[in-house]
Chains A and B, each alone.
Chain A
């Protein structure tokens, strides 16, 4: 596609439910990143995928968070048993290679009530 696409744009969920957030990177981009942006805060790195290498999960805040990238393209970020502190905007980015410019999607605003 023309840019990084994220869905849904907004998601409201009840505390304790599981949610899945989707990211479609730019075609041909081998690197994919997930970031979290809490209200009024900067971006916090969550996880990074590069080609077929094992993902860098060093930013995941707890074991309730997981992500996968199927076929080196689409990625899904899953949050299990959501908590109110998980409320944030989740941004996905992709780049042609690990060192190249990262292009961001418009994010998913997650609200846990």
Chain B
């Protein structure tokens, strides 16, 4: 079974600054996907960024980037130039690649507050 751990229940950052959210996971799989989802107060989960484990290059989406360390089973999210709209819960998630329709395994979440 897979486990995903987010060790920071809450974080805050000043607007325009950079913040890094941590995520570690445990799996015996060699091929898998990792995700960061954002959940604003509207409750809808929104995909922020996705990383395939077989890719060595870290994924980047505009102000969002990841630091994927496969050997260490670490998958952190960096948010640059933080904006007030980034205030939300952030969830790290794992999905096996093998087989069809594997469910996402989520971490407990990090509540991020961006301060003006």
Contacts and interface: CB of A to CB of B under 8 A. Distances in A.
A107 interface: yes
A101 interface: yes
Contacts of A103: 47
Nearest to A108: B43
Contacts of B45: 43, 91, 93, 104
Interface residues of chain B: helix, strand, loop or mixed (majority): loop
A99 B107 contact: no
Main secondary structure of the interface of A (DSSP, over half): strand
B33 A43 contact: no
B43 A107 contact: yes
- Give chain A's interface residue range (CB within 8 Å of chain B): 20 to 34
Contacts of B103: 33, 45, 48, 56, 59
Interface string A14-53: 0000000000000000010101000001111100101001
A86 to B, nearest CB: 17
A31 B103 CA distance: 10
Interface of B: 33, 37, 42-47, 50, 91, 95, 97, 99-109
9 contacts: A41-B108, A42-B107, A43-B104, A45-B103, A48-B101, A53-B100, A59-B103, A98-B101, A106-B43
Interface of A: 31, 33, 35, 41-45, 48, 50, 53, 56, 59, 89, 91, 93, 95, 97-99, 101-107, 109
